[in-house]
């Protein structure tokens, strides 16, 4: 059974202007310079992003080269990417992150990027209009809307347990819920992924009013958490709650000016994508993950 699972539409554009005469050159998706440019461009894209999960390069779908005055070369890259299990606050290299498997409700994305390849690869702009269609396995968790009350309850219960049991000296507050799913175990089991941030409320203080806790200024400490709990209508049955958080010190980084737009799923099928024009394109895929029917 095929079903539209997630729709990801992210657009982040920065301004770049350079004058010169465009002269197309023959390049291919399998060439070493193109693959290196795609690798490094995706590194920079992940670094600039402040929300969501780190993207992994699945393949270079198409490439077009322009040579400007002075010999500067511009590469227009079309890359197929997949979400990993690493949140962007981890600042990990995408090659060290595991791609979300079919049971994790994977998200497929298409990235358009403009880079120069003189001495170093420099990213000038990029955009992410994307759609994910995956093959659903019968026993795997199914995605839940992040706006569902049970999802917020699961995240809050998980955070309460972390604040109670962790060795951190300050309380943490919920930043964003980033993913949610449900699976039937002995009852409905809900799984959430969310980010947290350290507040100015010390655990050593008595009678803390959590509504007054504010995020710490400066080099804030953030975390990425996974949590779950099983619901039951019987009040005599104890509801197990699990939580696991990884804490990160956030470096001071400069981000590319732009905006992020999250687009809802389309009501009509997406139009077929343009046929790749460059030599040896599209490149070889690194993962399939149930995306075979898309013929991407």
Q: Per mean pLDDT, which range of 22-31, 105-114, 165-174, 264-273 is the poorest? A: 264-273
Find which of 11-25, 39-53, 115-129 is predicted with most confidence, using mean pLDDT. Answer: 39-53
In 3D space, the residue among 244, 248, 202 whose CA is nearest the CA of residue 221 turns out to be 248
| Confidence check: pLDDT of 294 > 60 | no
CA dist 4 and 2 (Å) reads: 7
Question: What are the pLDDT digits (tens) for 81-123?
Answer: 888 999 999 989 999 999 987 777 777 778 888 887 665 555 5
DSSP state of 41: H
Q: What is the pLDDT of residues 114-147, one digit of tens each?
A: 887 665 555 555 555 444 444 456 666 777 788 8
In whole angstroms, give the CA distance from residue 24 to residue 120. Answer: 21
pTM for this entry: 0.70
Q: What percent of the chain has pLDDT over 90?
A: 25
Residue-range domains of the chain with CATH: 2-139+254-294 (3.10.450.10), 142-249 (3.10.450.10)
Q: What is the distance between the alpha carbons of residues 173 and 159, in angstroms, rounded to a whole number?
A: 8
Taking the mean position of all CA atoms in its chain, how far away is CA 215?
23
Burial of 247 (0-12, 13-18, 19+ CB in 10 A): middle
Cross-strand bridge partners of residue 80: 59, 110
Find out whether 224 and 248 touch, Cβ atoms under 8 Å.
yes
Which of 9-18, 62-71, 266-275 is predicted least confidently? 9-18
Token representation of residue 84: 């990993």
């Amino acid at each position: 059974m095929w079903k539209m699972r997630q729709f990801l539409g992210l657009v982040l554009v920065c301004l770049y202007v350079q004058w010169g005469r465009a002269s197309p050159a023959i390049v291919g998706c399998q060439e070493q310079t193109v693959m290196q440019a795609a690798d490094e461009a995706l590194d920079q894209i992940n670094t600039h992003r402040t929300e969501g999960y780190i993207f992994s390069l699945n393949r270079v779908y198409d490439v077009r080269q322009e040579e400007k005055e002075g010999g500067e070369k511009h590469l227009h890259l079309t890359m197929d990417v997949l979400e990993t299990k690493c949140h962007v606050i981890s600042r990990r290299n995408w090659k060290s992150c595991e791609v979300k498997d079919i049971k994790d409700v994977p998200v497929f994305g298409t990235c358009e990027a403009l880079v120069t390849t003189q001495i170093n690869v420099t990213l000038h702009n990029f955009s992410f209009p994307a759609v994910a269609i995956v093959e659903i396995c019968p026993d795997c968790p199914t995605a839940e809307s992040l706006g569902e009350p049970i999802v917020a309850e699961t995240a809050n219960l998980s955070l309460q347990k972390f604040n109670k049991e962790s060795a951190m000296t300050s309380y943490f507050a919920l930043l964003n819920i980033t993913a949610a799913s449900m699976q039937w175990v002995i009852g409905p089991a809900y799984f959430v992924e969310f980010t947290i941030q350290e507040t100015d409320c010390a655990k050593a203080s008595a009678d803390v009013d959590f509504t007054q806790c504010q995020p710490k200024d400066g080099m804030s400490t953030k975390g990425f958490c996974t949590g779950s709990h099983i619901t039951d209508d019987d009040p005599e049955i104890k509801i197990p709650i699990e939580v696991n958080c990884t804490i990160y010190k956030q470096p001071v980084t400069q981000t590319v000016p732009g905006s992020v737009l999250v687009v809802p799923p389309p009501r009509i099928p997406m139009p077929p994508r343009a046929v790749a024009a460059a030599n040896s394109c599209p490149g070889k895929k690194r993962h399939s993950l149930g995306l075979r029917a898309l013929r991407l």
